[in-house]
Amino acid sequence: MNLLPAIAHKICLVFLPRSGYTGSTQCVLLSPLFLAEIPQVQAFQTGLKRLLGVRRVLALATERRLICCWQHKSLWCWRSVDWPPDACRDGMPMQREAMSEALEELLFDSDVVGARLELLLPVDGVYWRVLEGVSADVFDSDASSAALSNGLDWPLDPLESYVTATPCADAVVAVGVRRTMLQAWIDVVEQADLPLQRVDWLVSCAQRCLHHLSSEWTGGVAWLFPHGSAVRLVLIHDGVPEVDQTFARDGIEPEALISEIRRSVSAWQTLMNRSVPLGWWLSFPESHNQMFMPLIDAARQDCLLNQPFAWNPAPWGEDSGDDPLEPLEQLALFGMLVESH
Q: Convert the pLDDT of each residue in 239-269 to its tens digit.
A: 999 999 999 999 999 999 999 999 999 999 9
Enclosing H/E stretch for 201: strand 196-201
Q: How confident is the model at residue 340 (pLDDT cuts 50, 70, 90)?
A: confident
pLDDT given at position 320: 57
Look at domain 215-304 and name its CATH class: alpha beta
| Pick from 213, 234, 215: nearest CA to 309 | 213
Residues in the chain: 341
pLDDT given at position 68: 97
| Pick from 329, 307, 332, 308: nearest CA to 320 | 329
Query: What does the pLDDT look like over 288-337, one tens digit per residue?
Result: 999 999 999 999 999 999 998 889 999 998 765 568 999 999 999 999 99
Contact 241, 173 (CB under 8 A): yes
Distance CA 246, CA 97 (A): 32
Q: Delimit the CATH 3.30.420.80 region(s) of the chain.
A: 215-304
Q: What is the DSSP string of 248-268?
A: --TT--HHHHHHHHHHHHHHH
| Pick from 167, 166, 160: nearest CA to 142 | 160
Q: How confident is the model at residue 127 (pLDDT cuts 50, 70, 90)?
A: very high
Q: How confident is the model at residue 341 (pLDDT cuts 50, 70, 90)?
A: low
Q: What is the DSSP string of 294-335?
A: GG--GGGT-EE-----S--PEE-STTS-SSPPPHHHHHHHHH
Alpha helices (H) along the chain: 4-7, 39-52, 96-109, 142-149, 179-191, 202-213, 254-271, 286-292, 327-340
Range scoring the smallest mean pLDDT among 3-17, 206-220, 235-249: 3-17
Contact 175, 207 (CB under 8 A): no
Longest dimension (CA), the chain: 104
Query: What does the pLDDT look like over 97-122, one tens digit per residue?
Result: 999 999 999 999 999 999 999 999 99
**75-82 and 65-72 as β-strands: parallel, antiparallel, unpaired?**
antiparallel
Contact 243, 264 (CB under 8 A): yes
Q: How many CA atoms lie within 13 A of 161 on its CB side?
A: 24
Contact 149, 111 (CB under 8 A): no
